[in-house]
Amino acid sequence: MKLQLSSKLPTVGTTIFTEMSVLANRHSAINLGQGFPDFMMSETLINLVHQAMKEGHNQYVHMNGWPLLRERLAEKFADLYNANVDPETEITVTPGGTYAIYTALTTILQPGDEVIVFEPSYDSYIPNIEINGGVPVLIPLQAPAFSIDWQMVKEKITPKTRMIMLNSPHNPTGSILRKTDIDALTELVRDTGIFILSDEVYEHLIFDGQTHESMLKYPELQERSLVCFSFGKTYHCTGWKLGYCVAPKHLMHEFRKVHQFNCFSCNSALQVALAAFLLQKEAYLNLGKEVQQKRDYFQQMMSQTRLKPLPSHGSYFQLYSYAGITDEKEKDFAIRLTKEFGVAPIPLSAFYQAPSENKLLRFCFVKKEATLDAAVNRLMKL
């Protein structure tokens, strides 16, 4: 008998980040697509990992995460967000932010539950909802600011709405939540059974003196939120794949049931090192300014090209418009830029379910100046 597999994700292909990175490598293009820095991470942190390994931190750690790391994270939340987070019961260390998001969805969703997702959305969200039996309810973000229309959200809420997914600073647009968004959200979810999944992996990557609006800053939102973070983004080590989730005790209790039979416990030496490194607060407190310089440098260089920037207030990314250069579809143009001009971006259409064309490309500017210079040199030929 022929073995038959019924796909759980029949419409899903390979993620655009892998697709564009493979293409960039094949054509020796400068990769401004997938979001990762091309410069060295902190040497101090590397040395702390080495030290942790030498000291013998090479075996399983507690399934919820190295206790000292969780304590230091709770201190950080108290400092930054005035938040009361119990390190014992409300934080779990995970192998990356993506895993934290997946696990949060698995924890909450029952078949048929509706989840409000804003488009463009990070590419893992919708497949993650669907594989967990949920139904994504898509709401477009309003270009060019890509802000949330809360009236539209209100209209999409039904008795089946189980969750709202948020992401600030936002990938791919670089938009951020403002206090007015927090007020509208608070009003909307009050006295409902709606949970919030807040993807805050870019919490420190925020520019122009703006402050990050974490769900952890607002007790009324915190009590219904699962908040996901990534050390990879904060410490320029995306390959480490280490993150964590913060949620109220009763939710975290269920989250841990899922986590313990999927991952159980994460890399020990990295956690020991990060617990020590978290004491060096300037490493994360200065991050926004450092990365803003890169955004500004790139934007200034890009003014020599025919690509036009949209505002980016946070994240690793900025959108650029090529309207006026060509009518090509975003993906076709992204591929042609990679093959013929030697610079790989990500087409914005990859962050939408239905075909969408805004003539926008996402560029990752968290690169050495020499890389950005070389890329702009090539893009000037456009």
97 binds, among ligand PMP, ligand GLN, none (CB under 5 to 8 A by kind): ligand PMP
Q: How far apart are CA 98 and CA 199, in angstroms?
A: 9
347 binds, among ligand PMP, ligand GLN, none (CB under 5 to 8 A by kind): none
Burial state string for 348-382 with b = 16 or more CB within 10 A and e = fewer than 16: bbbbbeeebebbbbbbbbbbeeebbeebbebbeee
Q: How far apart are CA 312 and CA 170, in angstroms?
A: 9
34 binds, among ligand GLN, ligand PMP, none (CB under 5 to 8 A by kind): ligand GLN
Q: Which two tokens stand for residue 371?
A: 């890389």
Q: Which two tokens stand for residue 180?
A: 């007015």
Q: Does 127 bind ligand GLN (CB under 6 A)?
A: no
Binding site for ligand PMP (CB under 6 A): 35, 96-98, 122, 167, 171, 199, 201, 230, 232, 238, 241, 243
Between residue 34 and residue 53, which ones bind ligand GLN under the rule CB under 6 A?
34-35
Instruction: State the binding string over 323-342 for ligand GLN (x if CB under 6 A, else -).
Output: --------------------
Q: Does 345 bind ligand GLN (CB under 6 A)?
A: no
Reading phi first (left if > 0) and then psi (alpha if -120 to 50, else beta), residue 96 is in left
Structure-derived torsion over alpha carbons of residues 209, 215, 217, 221, reported in degrees to the nearest 10:
140
Residue type, 165: M
150 binds, among ligand PMP, ligand GLN, none (CB under 5 to 8 A by kind): none
Nearer to ligand GLN, 41 or 188 (CB): 41
CB of 238 to ligand GLN, least distance (A): 7
314 binds, among ligand PMP, ligand GLN, none (CB under 5 to 8 A by kind): none
Element (H, E) at 245: strand 243-246
CB of 85 to ligand PMP, least distance (A): 19
Q: Does 128 bind ligand GLN (CB under 6 A)?
A: no
Q: How far apart are CA 60 and CA 266, in angstroms?
A: 7
Residues that bind ligand GLN (CB under 6 A): 15, 17, 34-35, 171
